[in-house]
Structure 1
Amino acid sequence: MAIPYITNNISDIIQDKEVDAVVIASPPQSHHDYFMQFLHAGRHILLEKPSSISLKDLDEMINESGNYPDLVICDCSCRHSRLQPKFRFVKKVIDSGELGDVYYIHHNSVARQSRPGIEYNPDAKWFLNKQIAGAGPLIDWGVYDLSFHLGVLSDVPQFVSSETLFKANKLDRTDPGTSVYDVEEHFAVSMRFNNGLNYYWERAAHANNEAPNETRIYGTHGGLKLQYCTWDSPKVELFGLEKGINGKATKTLHEIDMKDHTDDGYELTVHFLNCIEKKEKPMMPLKLARKHLEIILKI
């Protein structure tokens, strides 16, 4: 289907009465201004992640959107996390009590030379500027990681404290093509939550090593190991114990059926439209996105 009209003037969109909804996919620093304009114009909003890089701006967006209860506002960080079969499977297992109390999550994903603004989308140099992007993989992928890992726990854990183990950048001799390059390439942090959950979290857009995008969830009765992204392996390992005294350790391999999952972006679009037309609740409302942003900004 052809796009009948193209403009680079936001006022053209605001004045077009046929536009019911918009997607704000500009660099994060600009989200607040665009959001307010479209909100006041009465448009439903699908907001690219991160919703903001400022808690002050995001609080203003949340408070003002409360005056427009009929408008759908959805943050995109549910894209790779909550709208897919692996999320639903893991959450169902945890909700069943099969794992017991979840006391530890270990997540690592260490890539090599996959940096936004350099190897990926090299023209978008704003990814490398902390004043515009907010951070490197800590915010670019962090919102997805927190969305998945805290979501499978029904968003119950509340952040208490963290210890940043390190943040590193400029780990090779690649010319970034810009004088401003102050976001991290590689970080690791240990976090604690109010329900006793401990969470080790490591990500790298580039480092001089590599590790798969792997999550390990530890409970008092069982555990799970998986790669949560939809393009990674559909296999989820479930660790448990045989029933009764002296029950032996067990491991069961589950292969998640992904055939009906078309594409993460497509599923996000369908979800947004269903929120508008069928009154579904957004999987990532701004208040929940704020919880994740607050954690990230404290690291």
Structure 2
Amino acid sequence: MIQRILIVGAGVIARNHAAATRLLPHVPQLAAADPNPATRASFASEFPEASVYADAAEMLAAPRTGDEVVVVATPPWLHRQYALAAFATGRHVLCEKPLGINVAESDEILAAARAHRLHFACCSVRYLGRPILAEVKRRISSGVLGSPLHVKWQARLTGARPGIEYQPGSRWFLDRSLAGGGCVLDWGPYDVLTWNAVFDPAAVVVENAWISPLQRGPELPAGVTCDVEHHACAALTLVTAKGERIRVDYERSAACFGGRSELYQIEGPRGAINWDWLEWQGNTLRVFADSAGVDAQEIVQIPDDPRETSLHRPVLRFVAFLEGREADLIRDEQAWFNFRILCAIYASAESGQPQTVVKPARP
């Protein structure tokens, strides 16, 4: 039984995690730490049951009361620091996405979790628990589309650059040394999670990739660093344990030229499936197939579970797993694997060479 959840950070994301603790079968004690006095006061007002600290180190120094979880709800450059600090105190870690800002940080987090025999998970699990995704997996597994399969994952968004159009006060989004990257590390964790949840690859090859800093206005204030990508494309091959190879054509942008377009589709020789993979897009699954030489389309509405939202799932699923209940979750070696695929996209784009990532076995 998880006795206490300690949140590093007390901003908007941290409050979503705090709200999720109230939905658990056994409501644990709650604590949060944030250096900003106004943020702390606002958090304490919304969650009066919480112990609130100015210093995360002081919060983590408090004696454990049993099994506990630290939620790292800080900007990316602090993820490694607080994950390692939490492991050192014997606590499990739920980390906001991305897992770190580079390969070395993800390696350190995995090694520390193994050394302390603790678990960690990534908050990219937000869209994993949707019933519509479970139905996609069921249909793909049934072989209804035939083989080989091809994934078209295109999210050409415009006017959605973090630090510019979105949360313009958070300029750290634009600095790779702080954010780790741009759109690939911001939305890529959700994208990779979805393909991997459907196909469960044992290895992923990034055949080639392209990233673009996108040179367009508005002009940023003097002294603001902007060295992250806002548009990326990659060709990947997912290789399953059975040797099946699934091609993924991936495009993700926070801004681009030529207008917005989106398509999330898996296609095979006998048909195709696309679906509303994000909660706010809807709940529609579309299946395309041949019927005696005529195109046939099946449209299915698959509602979400009203008891939870994507904002609650990371805490609910991680605690469920730790307490021995069934849970859809991205954790430990799988979380490391997903993050390393994103790093491989950068490495391929920068080197011009294919990059292979192999999922490690759990010890």
Whether TM-score is above 0.5 comes out as: yes
Query: Which of these residues, 58, 64, 74, is aligned with residue 121 of structure 2?
Result: 74
1:29 aligns with 2:77: yes
- 1:1-299 mapped onto 2 (5 Å cutoff): 1-17=47-63, 20-69=68-117, 71-80=118-127, 82-153=128-199, 155-156=200-201, 158-175=203-220, 178-194=223-239, 195-242=244-291, 248-258=294-304, 260=306, 262-280=308-326, 283-299=329-345
Shift of 1:147: 0.3
Moved more, 269-278 or 170-179: 170-179
- C-alpha distance in 2, partners of 1:5/1:72? 24
Cα 1:40–1:203 change in 2 (3 A) is: same
- C-alpha distance in 1, partners of 2:222/2:259? 24
The TM-score normalised by the length of structure 2 is 0.74
Can you list the C-alpha shifts for 1:230-284, whole angstroms capped at 9, x where unaligned?
1102111101234xxx554321111111252631011222112212323446611
Can you list the C-alpha shifts for 1:217-239, whole angstroms capped at 9, x where unaligned?
11232210123111102111101
The TM-score normalised by the length of structure 1 is 0.89
Query: Percent identity between the aligned chains?
Result: 24
- C-alpha distance in 2, partners of 1:234/1:43? 37
5+ residue gaps, structure 2, are: 1-46, 346-363
- C-alpha distance in 2, partners of 1:109/1:216? 11
- C-alpha distance in 1, partners of 2:273/2:219? 38
- C-alpha distance in 2, partners of 1:23/1:215? 30
Kindly indicate whether structure 1 or structure 2 has the higher relative contact order, using CA contacts under 8 Å at least 6 residues apart.
Answer: 1
Count of residue pairs brought into register by the alignment: 293
5+ residue gaps, structure 1, are: none
Moved more, 25-34 or 173-182: 173-182
C-alpha contact (below 8 Å) 2:125/2:313 kept by paired residues = no
Q: Secondary structure at the match of 1:288?
A: helix
Cα 1:166–1:57 change in 2 (3 A) is: closer
Can you list the C-alpha shifts for 1:167-201, whole angstroms capped at 9, x where unaligned?
23232234267520011111222223343321111
C-alpha contact (below 8 Å) 1:46/1:272 kept by paired residues = yes
- C-alpha distance in 2, partners of 1:254/1:209? 31
